[in-house]
Amino acid sequence: MKNIGFLLSIWMLFVVSLTGCGKEQKAARDLAVIPRPVKMESPGGTFQLNKETRIVLREDEEERKGVANYLSQLLSSATGYSFEVSVQDYAEENTICLELDPAITGASGCYSLIVSDSGITISAPGVTGLFYGVQTLRQLLPPEIESDVLFPDMDWTVPTVEIFDEPAFLYRGLHLDVSRHFFPVSFIKKYIDLLALHKMNVFHWHLTDDQGWRLEIKKYPKLQEIAGQREETLVGHGLEEPFIYDGEPYDGYYTQEEVKEVVKYAEERFVTVIPEIEMPGHAQAALAAYPHLGCTGGPYRTATRWGVFPEVFCSGKEETFQFLEDVLLEVMELFPSEYIHIGGDECPKTRWEECELCQTRIADENLKNEQELQSYFVHRIEAFLNRHGRNIIGWDEIMEGGLASGATVMSWQGEKGGIQAAKMGHNVIMTPVSHLYFDYYQTDPEGEPLAIGHFLPLEKVYSYHPVPDTLTTEEAKFIVGAQGNLWSEYIKTPEHAEYMAFPRVVALAEIVWTPLENKNYKDFLQRLDVHKRRLDVLGVNYFKD
């Protein structure tokens, strides 16, 4: 008997520990928020959404109503409940209340989210914070909430929580190269939706490059007719000779109407679209359309393989600046963002060295060399954009020959350029190839689709911190954030773009939002396991290890 009693108590212990463990696992599943909030406490218990649950605003205000309607739509499809939005200034049970509260203080986008067993309140000093509170709430619900198909038997519970949250960095960006391969508006919208889900706030749209100009410019129609097309495309890797081509014409560009639609869509998701118009290098497609803007006068053709090409805009010709200013005027009409990215990377100087007009410019402007000519070019474009109330971002090569006064530097060749720029008092966005180039392999290339090369696994992305140790506290303030880049030489389809971007973007989201002291890779991986189910329901083709 004694033995049986002993065995029984061991068995009870086993069962208790199993259920305890199950509870913990369930809690982990329920609180799998990414990026991890600054403070999150869960007293236990749940709030249950039902067909009577309403969304409440304290005041009738356009932008807040936009967020409320967004939430209502987000919750309606899978639940089948209507989530009616109403305006009332008194508290009531079974509501999701979105309210502005100036007493909540923190970085731009901060919010508080309180879920009790009788209702949910999201409060923030601004509407951006309300939107981020909604993103967190979404992640506290079962992943099936993302479905546009009804789940009639699902238990739509939210764990009770008290959250205060704010971003660590102001600039939380993701880039997409649509020149090397073109991506349809439907995918651009999905990309923006995924940015919003992860509380990222900048979509950097790389619209022009040697292999294709992808933006309609009314004053220069040959940009879409000629620069938007290439005769064929390289097959295989860009470093493998002999080059083999597919023989198939390739084209695509966004109309101005489509761009407006994307910008509005992004705005409703608190994402700023920053367009990039490459200059003075990576301009071969533009030169194919308007050859008089190159040093030799051409003829040129839109590039059909990958690399860095010598054909760049002539810095000696006034026509070049006239053209770019005209283009930028239309760009500014389309994109309200404070920043316009003007490229500036990888500009060989060989044509300038041989060009009489470029050499005359160097002499007339008392420049020392072609590096300073590049700086002259960038300064001049910066001054033009400044006159129109805009500021420039450029890749770190814009520092060559002297940095334009108000320029923000995007540090891609490592952190060195960014460190130097921060020490000079310039804003910096970190996007080093070593940690944030999502066109790199994420596992052993064997069995993977062809990529540019290198190796960037998820853990390495997660380990990145945008502020280098070598900066003082004052200098560190100039590091405004970080960005992941997705270059598309080897990425032809939306599905492949998703495969390269995810889940590395999910790690990036935590780099730029979560305070360093809250970051923990093991904990991240546990939350990611749950998050992947959400990505599944959203139809994201992420890399699976």
Residues with a catalytic annotation lie at 209, 282, 346
Name the minimum Å distance from CB 222 to ligand ACM: 25
Q: Which does residue 316 touch among ligand ACM, Zn ion, none (CB within 5 to 8 A, set by kind)? A: Zn ion
Question: Taking the complex as a whole, how short is the minimal distance between the CB of residue 226 and Zn ion, in angstroms?
Answer: 21
Q: Is 385 helix (H, G, I), strand (E, B) or coil?
A: helix
Q: Which is nearer to Zn ion, 358 or 482 (CB)?
A: 358
With CB under 5 to 8 Å by kind, the binding choice for 37 among Zn ion, ligand ACM, none is: none
345 binds, among ligand ACM, Zn ion, none (CB under 5 to 8 A by kind): ligand ACM
Between strands 391-395 and 408-411, the pairing is parallel
Yes or no: say if 65 and 88 are a contact pair by the CB < 8 Å rule: no
Please state the closest distance from residue 295 (CB atom) to Zn ion, in A: 3
Report in angstroms how near the CB of residue 464 gets to ligand ACM at its nearest: 17
Closest CB 381 distance from ligand ACM, rounded Å: 17
Nearer to Zn ion (CB atom), residue 166 or residue 278: 278
CB of 374 to ligand ACM, least distance (A): 15
What part of residues 396-435 is at the interface with ligand ACM (CB under 6 A)?
412
Q: Which is nearer to ligand ACM, 201 or 411 (CB)?
A: 411
List the interface residues with Zn ion, window 131-190 (CB under 5 A). none
Three-state DSSP class for residue 380: helix
- Find, among 458, 543, 540, the residue nearest to 507 by Cα: 458
User: In the structure encoding, which two tokens stand for residue 138, read together?
Assistant: 């979404």
Question: Distance (Å, rounded) from C-alpha 439 to C-alpha 453?
Answer: 8
156 sits in the region (left: phi over 0; alpha: psi -120 to 50; else beta) called beta
Q: Measured between alpha carbons, how far apart are the two ends of the chain, in Å?
A: 51
* Token reading at 415: 């952190």
In the region spanning residues 380 to 409, those forming contacts with Zn ion, defined by CB under 5 A, are none
Between 295 and 480, whose beta carbon lies closer to Zn ion?
295
Spatial distance between the Cα atoms of 350 and 370, rounded to a whole number of angstroms: 9
Q: Which residues are 437's β-sheet partners?
A: 485
Question: Taking CB under 6 A as the rule, does residue 290 contact ligand ACM?
Answer: no
Long-range (24+ apart) CB contacts under 8 A made by 406-415 are 406/382, 407/378, 407/382, 408/339, 408/480, 410/341, 410/483, 412/345, 412/437, 412/485, 415/468
* Rounded-to-integer distance, Cα 213 and Cα 283, Å: 9
Query: Whole-number minimum distance, CB 40 to ligand ACM, in Å?
Result: 36
Q: Are 172 and 481 in contact (CB under 8 A)?
A: yes
Give the DSSP letter of residue 449.
Answer: P
Query: Of Zn ion, ligand ACM, none, which one sits near residue 314, judging by CB under 5 to 8 A according to partner kind?
Result: Zn ion
Q: Which is nearer to ligand ACM, 258 or 346 (by Cβ)? A: 346
- Please say which residue, 296 or 520, places its beta carbon nearer to Zn ion: 296
Per CB under 6 A, does 268 bind ligand ACM? no
Residue with tokens 């033009």: 384
Member of 101, 162, 193, 345 binding ligand ACM (CB under 6 A): 345
By a kind-dependent CB cut-off of 5 to 8 A, residue 395 interacts, out of ligand ACM, Zn ion, none, with ligand ACM
Which pair of structure tokens corresponds to residue 218?
A: 């009314």
- At residue 300, what are phi and psi to the nearest 5 degrees? -125, 160
CA–CA distance, 28 with 523 (Å, rounded to integer)? 9
Of 110, 176, 287, 314, the one binding Zn ion by CB under 5 A: 314
Contact mark string toward Zn ion, 344..363, x via CB under 5 A: -----------x-xx-----
Q: Which is nearer to Zn ion, 357 or 525 (CB)?
A: 357
Considering only 133, 316, 344, 418, the residue that binds Zn ion (CB under 5 A) is 316
- Does 346 contact ligand ACM by CB under 6 A? yes
Other CB atoms within 10 Å distance of the CB of residue 221: 11
Cβ 412 to ligand ACM, closest distance in Å?
4
3-state helix, strand, coil in the chain (%, to 5): 40, 20, 40
- 295 near Zn ion (CB under 5 A): yes
Question: Interface with ligand ACM includes 238 (CB under 6 A)?
Answer: no
CA distances from 255 to 213, 216, 266, 273, 336 (A): 12, 5, 17, 16, 17
The listed partner (ligand ACM, Zn ion, none) that binds 295, CB under 5 to 8 Å by sort, is Zn ion
- Among 395, 438, 490, 502, the residue binding ligand ACM under the rule CB under 6 A is 395
What x/- string results for residues 53 through 92 when contact with Zn ion is judged by CB under 5 A? ----------------------------------------
In Å, how far are 11, 181, 276, 285 from 279, measured between CA atoms?
Answer: 72, 19, 9, 12
Find how far residue 473's CA is from the centre of its chain: 26
Closer by beta carbon to ligand ACM, 253 or else 395: 395
Q: List contacts with Zn ion (CB under 5 A).
A: 295, 314, 316, 355, 357-358
Q: List contacts with ligand ACM (CB under 6 A).
A: 345-346, 395, 412
